[in-house]
Structure 1
Amino acid sequence: MRLSLLDAEEKVMKHAFTLIELLVVIAIIAILAAILFPVFAQAREKARQTACLSNAKQIGLGVRMYVQDYDETFPIWHAYSKKTAAVHYGIEVDLQPYVKNLPLFKCPDDAGGPFQRSDVPGTTSYFAAYGSSYYFERRCFSVVNGFSISNNFPTTRTTAIVIDPQYERPAESVLMRDEMFPWFNPAVDTAGYWGYSGFYQAWHAQGGSAIFADGHAKFLVGAGQMRTLFKDPAAQVPY
């Protein structure tokens, strides 16, 4: 019986971890975590990019349905119209009968920005402040003097109705885009080409979504790629 107990204790000791072995295991787990956590973060960001692009594609389809219903006329332009206003104007409102889902206009990476936070205190995103994470290119939409809203006030710009046949290069003309792109960062854009000093806040790590006049959407991944595009129907005003 005594020998059996000693044998049992010896077997237990043989299967126990020493302190060195435990430290080695912990070190291996820490190394694996350091390797895998960035991978998981990248996977989550990729999922957000995919969701953003999916939203953009549905919005592009909504624009095309609107244009067909209104004799090839593009929606009336409004920009930075506060959702807190008594009557909120926005292109996303005009497109609602077609997209049936206002949250489509919220980019999953919409982190807001300095201008929005000071303009509409208490909001944490452009979507919460203005109803859309996407910037609407004024030249690509119909502008109505005294009705189109610009920074919460009716614009005094000359009325200009935009119709489908005016687009010379619709597949290269951007109607809407994510408000923020990485290359808008003043630390990167030291020459001030994009003009986001005082407005910039990092959103997507690698680029942003753009919606084109022909209805398709694309995730842009570089400033050079963006500069090949246009922001007017006549394709005369490049990015």
Structure 2
Amino acid sequence: MHLFTKHSLRNSAFTLIELLVVISIIALLIGILLPALGAARRTAQSVKCLSSIRQLGLVSAMYNNDNDGHFVHVKTDGTTWGPAGSRKTYWPGLYLSSGYTSGLDAYQCPEMDDAASWFVEEDSSDPGSDNFQSIHYGYNYRHIGSLIGWGANQDKGGQSATRATAKEAQLRNPTNTILFADSTNASTMDEEDGPNGIYLLYSSVSTASWARGRVSPRHNKSCNVAYADGHGAGEAVADVTKPYETEAFLGANTADETNPWTINGKPGLN
């Protein structure tokens, strides 16, 4: 038979102060660990995003190989954007309908999953759907996905009938030429970023309301990029409100040899 005295009970039980100390320690540990876990989650999202955009670079190479070296049209609508009489289709729809990608995951950045209210479960059997405008990766549309150039009468390809895109062999330096990048559907940049991505990218900043499509450094002040040679990289942006002042995204008015959009000032062409 065991007898429990008040003294033994007192020694075997937590006092209120001891319990509060334990709770405080647990709360402190949670406070220390949560930011680290959040940072790890964001890093994992950025790595997954970079993998996706690299895959798009490889998809582009396969498409080009099957299309006489030409890059995919940013959009086909029978006007400035594509061959006369063509049905309106955005470049993700062109890839999907031709079997170069198998689903929508290829066009989604995990950092944007909760915010992309426009980009819902789209029916990929309709490549012309307007919802393809709101994918999370933008395309260098003026200099690669079309031959518009800048300003009036700047169809750099001189192929007004076919609206041909640039060809791989014409690029002077594909290793440094931007093909795809994280995008935001905004005409100006702010630290909160836009709520959706967009299928195209402008090659220089503009505050015009119609000029939507900005590179988005949404991964802890970094933007994931696929270059025209097929490789991908994360490019750091010191000031998220001024991504076009970063060397990786210098605008269209920079010197030919440092321009990552056109490389030589002629839509990336020789």
Cα gap change, 1:20/1:197 in structure 2, threshold over 3 Å: closer, same or farther?
farther
Contact 1:92–1:131 (CA<8 Å) still a contact in 2?
Answer: no
Q: Deviations over 1:25-77 (max 9, x none)?
A: 11111111111010111111111101101101111100000001111111111
Q: Distance in 2 between matches of 1:212 and 1:71?
A: 19
What is the TM-score when the length of structure 2 is the normalising length? 0.63
Q: Determine the structure 2 residue equivalent to 1:116.
A: none
Q: Determine the structure 2 residue equivalent to 1:172.
A: 176
How many matched pairs?
A: 202
**In the alignment, which of 196, 200, 204 is matched to residue 219 of structure 2?**
204
Per-residue deviation, 1:211: 1.1
Contact 1:177–1:209 (CA<8 Å) still a contact in 2?
Answer: yes
What is the TM-score when the length of structure 1 is the normalising length? 0.70
Q: Determine the structure 2 residue equivalent to 1:231.
A: 261
**Higher CA-based Rg:** 1
5 Å-filtered alignment, 1:136-151, equals 136-138=139-141, 139-142=143-146
Q: Distance in 2 between matches of 1:88 and 1:15?
A: 77
Q: Distance in 2 between matches of 1:74 and 1:100?
A: 19
1:135 pairs with 2:138: yes
Q: Determine the structure 2 residue equivalent to 1:82.
A: none
Q: Distance in 1 between matches of 2:33 and 2:175?
A: 39
Per-residue deviation, 1:185: 3.5
Per-residue deviation, 1:178: 0.6
Q: Deviations over 1:87-140 (max 9, x none)?
A: 762111222212323321011112698xxxxxxxxx615577425211111111
Q: Determine the structure 1 residue equivalent to 2:94.
A: 94
Task: Tell me the secondary structure at the aligned position of residue 42 of structure 2.
Answer: helix
Question: Identity rate of aligned residues, in percent?
Answer: 25
Q: Determine the structure 1 residue equivalent to 2:229.
A: 214
CA RMSD of aligned residues (A): 3.5
Residue type at the aligned position of 2:117: T
Give ranges in structure 1 of 5+ residues lacking alignment.
80-86, 114-122, 145-156
Q: Distance in 1 between matches of 2:31 and 2:14?
A: 24
More helix by share: 1
